[in-house]
Amino acid sequence: DQQVKQNSPSLSVQEGRISILNCDYTNSMFDYFLWYKKYPAEGPTFLISISSIKDKNEDGRFTVFLNKSAKHLSLHIVPSQPGDSAVYFCAATQGASGSRLTFGEGTQLTVNP
């Protein structure tokens, strides 16, 4: 039962263009969503998050959009840079404690110079 899904295993974009990574979830109890970035041989690094009471959160080049009715969120990176090339994981959690994160399968983003 995959409660968080990232349907695109890979995405390739040109430097300077927009990267859009998508994530869908099935559990309506999820109320907090996070994006992590992972380079090879490193642990996931927190990127940006959004609470279910919002539909958008922005941090520099990164913006996360949440569509609760569609149970869909997306991460926009503008402009994309070669250093953004990594695996991006969407994660979700529920409740005040947030003791567990449920991750998607990840999307490998490659930004070409």
Restricted to residues 75-94, the positions that interact with other proteins (CB under 8 A) are 89, 91, 93
Q: Does 105 bind other proteins (CB under 8 A)?
A: yes
| Whole-number Cα distances in Å, 42 to 15, 36, 68 | 23, 12, 31
Structure tokens at 88: 């991006």
- Residue ranges in 58-77 that form contacts with other proteins under rule CB under 8 A: none
**27 φ/ψ angles, rounded to the nearest 5 degrees:** -85, 110
Burial of 82 (0-12, 13-18, 19+ CB in 10 A): exposed
Using CB under 8 A as the binding rule, whether residue 21 contacts other proteins is answered as: no
- Residue 20 as a binder of other proteins (CB under 8 A): the answer is no
User: Under the criterion CB under 8 A, does residue 110 sit at the interface with other proteins?
Assistant: no
Nearest-angstrom CA–CA distance, 48 and 64: 7
Q: Does 104 bind other proteins (CB under 8 A)?
A: yes
Quote the distance between the C-alpha of residue 78 and its chain's center: 14
User: Which is closer to other proteins, CB of 19 or CB of 44?
Assistant: 44
Taking the least distance from each CB to other proteins, the nearer of 96 and 113 is: 96
Shortest Å, Cβ 1 to other proteins: 9
Q: Contact residues for other proteins (CB under 8 A)?
A: 4, 6, 9, 32, 34, 36, 41-46, 89, 91, 93, 96-106
